[in-house]
Structure 1
């Protein structure tokens, strides 16, 4: 009998994950697959010729800096939540929302810069890819800003703290993913343009 008990006590517990976090990770994996497919298609289509050469908008450098700063401010909000510093949680989330909106405005300016170079969505595939990459990322970033606003509202109601981090952790994961995705796209375009 004692042998059976020691065997049962030594049994490993199955890995468990919050169902919403699991769903978020499934969504992130699907987005990665979409962008991996699109960047692969970009390389294949570029190799076929008839590819319009143009300069990447300079605003991409600024939006890249903005997205990095937004990840830092959100991480600081997360660290504040772990220490129950409610004011810094709110401040970090607010700064991240503002930076997220600034990123989107910067993307709009990048489209204006493309139009100024006579690069349009229709016409040459190189322009089409540029608009699809930035537009699809922009749509995901809009969803990220909405998520940030929802978490900010929870923080303003003092519902985000060290004992209630799941919502903030999911937001941090998604926002860092979006930042990493943008940096990947920007580096990809710099190296393959």
Structure 2
């Protein structure tokens, strides 16, 4: 169990490092493609540093929850709960939202406002689908009698999915602001910066969810909250 937790921690660190490298390095290379975006470059470091500070705090929160879960898992009364089939589809929704955000950045760097709007619309729709799917999973558990106080496994399932869902909702607030700017015809520099920040956040949400998904269903790592029995 400890080896599995260390593996997940190292995997998350690697993903965060890759995202930071992509975010802080790649946008500067795209400067040649859209020269008029130079006016927005000076504001990038402060905004991106603020985002990464927030992501660091959020990562610490999830690591603390995972550590508490690891300690609780060692007790003899731990009993996994059935696995919802819908979790895999929800993962696909969030992955699609992350890819759509990356497409939005690609379009924004080329001042392609049409594809920026399409990318934002797709990412928002898929993110709402992810949240709706998570609520359906909660409803399935509630209907089957797996309530918050039923067991430690159900408590951690609700905790992990609720905290992650709140982070997705927070991201959708920023997404709504960027979408409003795009439909109002904001200049390419502001759309580029805003879309890059949103994309970084969505990639982070996906990375965290992949690790949480492993905690939920990975019997091989010895960390599974859910058993192989389908709900």
- Please tell me the TM-score bracket, short chain as reference: 0.7 to 0.9
Most deviating of 100-109 and 154-163: 154-163
Give the TM-score taking structure 1 as reference length. 0.86
Distance 1:22 1:149 in 2: 22
Deviations 1:12-71 (A, max 9, x none): xxxx96222211111101111111111121121011121222222111101100011111
Does residue 127 of the first structure (1) align with residue 154 of the second (2)? yes
Residues 133-172 of structure 1 aligned to structure 2 (within 5 Å): 133-159=160-186, 161=188, 164-172=191-199
CA offsets per residue over residues 114-145 of structure 1, 9 Å max, x none? 22332111131111000000000000000111
CA distance in 2, matches of 1:153, 1:146: 11
Among 33, 49, 56, the residue aligned to 1:29: 56
Q: Does 1:43 align with 2:70?
A: yes
Report whether the alignment pairs 1:85 with 2:112: yes
Q: What value does the CA root-mean-square deviation take over the aligned residues?
A: 1.6
Measured after TM superposition, the shift of residue 109 of structure 1 is 0.6
> Compared with structure 1, are the counterparts of its residues 17 and 74 closer, same or farther at alpha carbon in structure 2 (3 Å cutoff)?
closer
| Larger RCO, structure (CA 8 Å, separation 6 or more) | 2
Q: Partners in 2 of 1:172 and 1:160 — Cα distance?
A: 18
How many residue pairs match? The answer is: 178
Partner of 2:99: 72
Q: What SS class does the counterpart of residue 188 from structure 2 fall into? A: coil
Instruction: Tell me the TM-score normalized by structure 2.
Output: 0.73
How far did residue 79 of structure 1 move? 0.5
